[in-house]
Structure 1
Amino acid sequence: MEKFKALGLQESLLDAVRDLGFETPSEVQEKAIPILLESETDLVALAQTGTGKTAAFGFPLIQKIDRGSRTTQGLILSPTRELCLQITNEMKLYAKYERSVNVVAIYGGASITEQARQIKRGAQIIVATPGRMKDMINRRLVDIGKIDYCVLDEADEMLNMGFMEDIKDILSNTPNDKSTWLFSATMPKEVATIAKKFMHSPQEITVGAKNSGATTVQHEYYVVGGRDRYPALKRLADTNPDIFSVVFCRTKRDTQKVAEKLIEDGYNAGALHGDLSQNQRDLVMNAFRKKQIQMLVATDVAARGIDVDDITHVINYQLPDEIETYTHRSGRTGRAGKSGISMVIVTRSELRKIKAIEKKIKQEFVAKTIPTGMEICEIQLYHLANKIKDTKINPDVEPYLPAIGDVLAGIDRDELIQKMVSVEFTRFYNYYNKNNDLKSSPAGQEGKKGDFTSSNGAVRYFINVGEKDGYDWMTLKDFIKETAGLGRDDLFKVDVKDSFSFFNTEPEVSDRLMAAFKDLKVAGRFVNVEISSNPGGAGGGRRGGHRDKAKRKGKKHFNDAPKGKRREHSKGAGPHSGKRRSGRKKGNFF
Structure 2
Amino acid sequence: MTKFEALGLQKSLLDAVSDMGFETPSEVQEKAIPILLEGETDLVALAQTGTGKTAAFGFPLIQKIDSNSRTTQGLILSPTRELCLQITNELQLYSKYEKNINVVAIYGGASITDQARQIKRGAQIIVATPGRMKDMIGRRLVDISKIDYCILDEADEMLNMGFFEDIKDILSNTPEEKSTWLFSATMPKEVSVIAKKFMHSPQEITVGAKNSGVDTVQHEYYVVGGRDRYPALKRLADTNPDIFSVIFCRTKRDTQKVAEKLIEDGYNAGALHGDLSQNQRDMVMNAFRKKQIQMLVATDVAARGIDVDDITHVINYQLPDEIETYTHRSGRTGRAGKSGISMVIVTRSELRKIKSIENKIKQQFVAKKIPTGMEICEIQLYHLANKIKDTKINEDVENYLPAINDVLQGIDREELIKKIVSVEFTRFFNYYNKAQDLNSVDIGRGERGGERSRGENSSDGSVRYFINVGEKDGYDWMSLKDFLKDTLDLGRDAIYKVDVKESFSFFNTEASDTEKVLSTFTEFKVDGRFVNVEVSKTPGGSGGGGANRGRRFKDKGRGGKDRGRSKGRDRSTSKDNASHSGKRRSKKRSDFF
CA distance in structure 2 between the aligned counterparts of 1:249 and 1:128, rounded to whole angstroms: 27
Shift of 1:513: 1.5
Residue 69 of structure 2 corresponds to which residue in structure 1?
A: 69
Shift of 1:369: 0.7
Shift of 1:571: 2.1
> Residue 455 of structure 1 contacts residue 536 of structure 1 at CA under 8 Å; is this kept in 2?
no
Compared with structure 1, are the counterparts of its residues 414 and 453 closer, same or farther at alpha carbon in structure 2 (3 Å cutoff)? farther
TM-score (norm 2): 0.91
CA distance in structure 2 between the aligned counterparts of 1:587 and 1:293, rounded to whole angstroms: 17
| Letter matched to residue 525 of structure 1 | R
| Letter matched to residue 436 of structure 1 | Q
| Letter matched to residue 503 of structure 1 | F
CA distance in structure 1 between the aligned counterparts of 2:14 and 2:564, rounded to whole angstroms: 57
456, 463, 466: which is aligned to 1:462? 466
CA distance in structure 2 between the aligned counterparts of 1:92 and 1:178, rounded to whole angstroms: 23
**Residue 592 of structure 2 corresponds to residue 589 of structure 1:** yes
Residue 32 of structure 1 corresponds to which residue in structure 2?
A: 32
> Residue 76 of structure 1 contacts residue 126 of structure 1 at CA under 8 Å; is this kept in 2?
yes
Residue 537 of structure 1 corresponds to which residue in structure 2?
A: 541
How many corresponding residue pairs? 552
Shift of 1:537: 3.1
CA distance in structure 1 between the aligned counterparts of 2:217 and 2:234, rounded to whole angstroms: 22
Residue 308 of structure 1 corresponds to which residue in structure 2?
A: 308
Compared with structure 1, are the counterparts of its residues 346 and 587 closer, same or farther at alpha carbon in structure 2 (3 Å cutoff)? farther
CA distance in structure 1 between the aligned counterparts of 2:272 and 2:80, rounded to whole angstroms: 14
How does 1:119-268 map onto structure 2 within 5 Å? Answer: 119-268=119-268
| Letter matched to residue 63 of structure 1 | Q
Q: Gapped runs of 5+ residues in structure 1?
A: 444-451, 541-565
Q: Percent identity?
A: 83
Residue 46 of structure 1 corresponds to which residue in structure 2?
A: 46
Shift of 1:159: 0.2
Over residues 97-119 of structure 1, what are the superposed CA-to-partner deviations in whole Å (9 max), with x where a residue is unaligned? 00211000000000100000000
CA distance in structure 2 between the aligned counterparts of 1:209 and 1:328, rounded to whole angstroms: 15
Shift of 1:378: 0.4
Compared with structure 1, are the counterparts of its residues 486 and 454 closer, same or farther at alpha carbon in structure 2 (3 Å cutoff)? closer
> Residue 70 of structure 1 contacts residue 123 of structure 1 at CA under 8 Å; is this kept in 2?
yes
Over residues 411-470 of structure 1, what are the superposed CA-to-partner deviations in whole Å (9 max), with x where a residue is unaligned? 111111111111111111111113212123469xxxxxxxx9675331111111111111
The farther-off stretch of 410-419 and 243-252 is 410-419
Shift of 1:345: 0.2
Residue 18 of structure 1 corresponds to which residue in structure 2?
A: 18
CA distance in structure 2 between the aligned counterparts of 1:432 and 1:95, rounded to whole angstroms: 55
Residue 273 of structure 2 corresponds to which residue in structure 1?
A: 273
CA distance in structure 1 between the aligned counterparts of 2:516 and 2:469, rounded to whole angstroms: 20
CA distance in structure 1 between the aligned counterparts of 2:153 and 2:458, rounded to whole angstroms: 47
Q: Gapped runs of 5+ residues in structure 2?
A: 444-455, 545-559, 572-581
Shift of 1:568: 5.6
| Letter matched to residue 512 of structure 1 | K
Residue 515 of structure 2 corresponds to which residue in structure 1?
A: 511
How does 1:284-323 map onto structure 2 within 5 Å? Answer: 284-323=284-323
| Secondary structure at the counterpart of residue 518 of structure 2 | helix
> Residue 241 of structure 1 contacts residue 587 of structure 1 at CA under 8 Å; is this kept in 2?
no
> Residue 154 of structure 2 contacts residue 183 of structure 2 at CA under 8 Å; is this kept in 1?
yes
CA distance in structure 1 between the aligned counterparts of 2:283 and 2:70, rounded to whole angstroms: 35
| Secondary structure at the counterpart of residue 398 of structure 1 | helix
490, 497, 502: which is aligned to 2:494? 490
> Residue 368 of structure 2 contacts residue 541 of structure 2 at CA under 8 Å; is this kept in 1?
no
Over residues 51-99 of structure 1, what are the superposed CA-to-partner deviations in whole Å (9 max), with x where a residue is unaligned? 0000000000000011110000000000000000000000000001002
How does 1:429-448 map onto structure 2 within 5 Å? Answer: 429-441=429-441
Over residues 226-278 of structure 1, what are the superposed CA-to-partner deviations in whole Å (9 max), with x where a residue is unaligned? 00000000000000010000000000000000001111111000000011111
The farther-off stretch of 185-194 and 528-537 is 528-537
CA distance in structure 1 between the aligned counterparts of 2:92 and 2:72, rounded to whole angstroms: 16
Residue 377 of structure 2 corresponds to which residue in structure 1?
A: 377
CA distance in structure 2 between the aligned counterparts of 1:30 and 1:219, rounded to whole angstroms: 28
| Secondary structure at the counterpart of residue 437 of structure 1 | coil
Residue 446 of structure 1 corresponds to which residue in structure 2?
A: none
| Letter matched to residue 353 of structure 1 | K
CA RMSD, 1 decimal: 1.9
| Letter matched to residue 537 of structure 1 | G
Shift of 1:581: 6.1
